[in-house]
Amino acid sequence: MKKSIILFAMVGLTTLAFAQKKQTTTSATIIFDATTSLDKLPKADNKTVVASLDTKTGNLAFESVIKSFTFSNPKMQEHFNGDKWMDSDKFATATFSGKITNLSAVNFKKDGTYNANVTGDLSLHGITKPVTTVASIIVLGKTISTTTNFSVKLADYGVNGGAIAAGKVATEPKISVTADFK
Amino acid sequence: MQTTNKRSWIKKVFVIILVLLLAGGIAIYLIFTEKFEDTQKQSAAFSISADELLKEFQTNESAANKKYIEKIILVNGKIVETEAVDSAINIKMKDTLTGSYIIFAFQDQHIKDAKQFKEGDNVSIKGSCSGGIYSKILETEFISFKRCALNK
């Protein structure tokens, strides 16, 4: 009986130790900025992005529901979700799955600011392409804050349209991703 | 006589074109300067408890998405978790058995209301449903809401 209790306790502690390495949040933020000098409307944010970070392996991932992007203008939001743009009825999410390639340069146990090289696959509009970027990681106590900025070429993801050709929507919108893991 | 008629006809066409151009211009201006209405002032298409809504999505995600996406829904339930997002806050209601959850992101003018909420509070929140999806990261179903407001 005593042995069983000890065994259960050990299994429990091991599971907890492993579970703590992968941290998740359901409130990461993505800002999508496709504004140009001609049009300031194509800008939106999604504050309910799911993200995960495994501090042991350096694996990073996020899932963003396209319909969760909020624009200030209803017509712009409708265009963004429409079949000529993101076609969100068909392609409901944008996902990223990658890893930190210089993991040894980041000490998750010591407070500080670190630059992490991140490489992975970004899936958008049903098309997956490799993306490489630098993420800023701030470790403060038990909180790990990550921020990265990069741009995507819409044509690479099969997103084309009159508004892009007319210069009203940036051909390479800026994407900013922020996630706090606690 | 004929010249006067012709002139008057040209004048009429010119005025009609001008009016049409002006109307078109105003319509385009209104469409692209329009902002989303305050959700608090909008009437909800559905009123439902968090548990029932989660159950509907878990049972048939596709049918539930068709029913609720982009509609204003009033959800009643208990706050299980709050999550800080920059200077704002997201509210979560959850099925603690399966881990599936509903998350509400608030309209800018209602963030201050959201900050008053505590875990365990029973609340009624109105928002635009962005749909439900199975998260491969969390291995659970989640439903997200945007432009939310406390129901008053």
pLDDT tens digits along A78-134 = 999 999 899 999 999 999 999 999 999 999 999 999 999 999 999 999 999 999 999
The CATH number for A87's domain is 2.40.128.110
Residue A15 lies in a domain: no
For residue A115, the model assigns a pLDDT of 98
- What is the average pLDDT across B75-93? 93
Mean pLDDT of chain B: 91
CATH code linked to domain B39-150 = 2.40.50.140
Are A47 and B138 within 8 A, CB to CB? no
Residue of A nearest to B31 (CA): A75
Lowest mean pLDDT among A102-111, A166-175, B93-102: A166-175
For residue B104, the model assigns a pLDDT of 98
For residue A19, the model assigns a pLDDT of 43
For residue B1, the model assigns a pLDDT of 57
Residue of A nearest to B71 (CA): A67
More confident residue, A9 or B58: B58
Domain map of chain B by residue range?
A: 1-34, 39-150
Gap between the Cα atoms of B133 and A88, Å rounded: 12
For residue A4, the model assigns a pLDDT of 55
Residue A165 lies in a domain: yes
Q: Model-level pTM?
A: 0.86
Residue A17 lies in a domain: no
- What is the average pLDDT across A49-74? 96
Gap between the Cα atoms of A76 and B120, Å rounded: 37
Closest C-alpha to B78, from B117, B128, B47: B117
Query: How confident is the model over A11-59, as pLDDT tens digits?
Result: 444 444 444 579 999 999 999 999 988 877 889 999 999 999 999 999 9
Of B69, B86, B144, the CB nearest to A48: B144
For residue A17, the model assigns a pLDDT of 45
How many domains does chain A divide into? 1
Instruction: Quote the domain boundaries for residue A57.
Output: 22-181
3-state DSSP call for residue A134? strand
- What is the average pLDDT across B30-41? 83
**Residues in CB range of B134: below 8 A, 6 or more apart:** B61, B140, B141
Q: Which residues of A, range 9-38, sit inside 8 Å of B by Cβ?
A: 24-27, 29
Q: Does B110 touch chain A (CB under 8 A)?
A: no
For residue A96, the model assigns a pLDDT of 97
For residue A13, the model assigns a pLDDT of 44
Residue A3 lies in a domain: no
CB contact at 8 A, A99 and A59:
yes
Q: Does A68 touch chain B (CB under 8 A)?
A: yes
* Percent of chain B clearing pLDDT 90 (strictly above): 71
3-state DSSP call for residue B87? coil
For residue A3, the model assigns a pLDDT of 55
Residue A160 lies in a domain: yes
Best of A31, A32, A38, A70 to disrupt the B interface (most B CBs within 10 Å) is: A70
Residue B125 corresponds to which tokens in the numbers above?
């929140």
Q: Is B124 exposed, middle or buried (0-12, 13-18, 19+ CB in 10 A)?
A: middle
Residue of B nearest to A28 (CA): B85
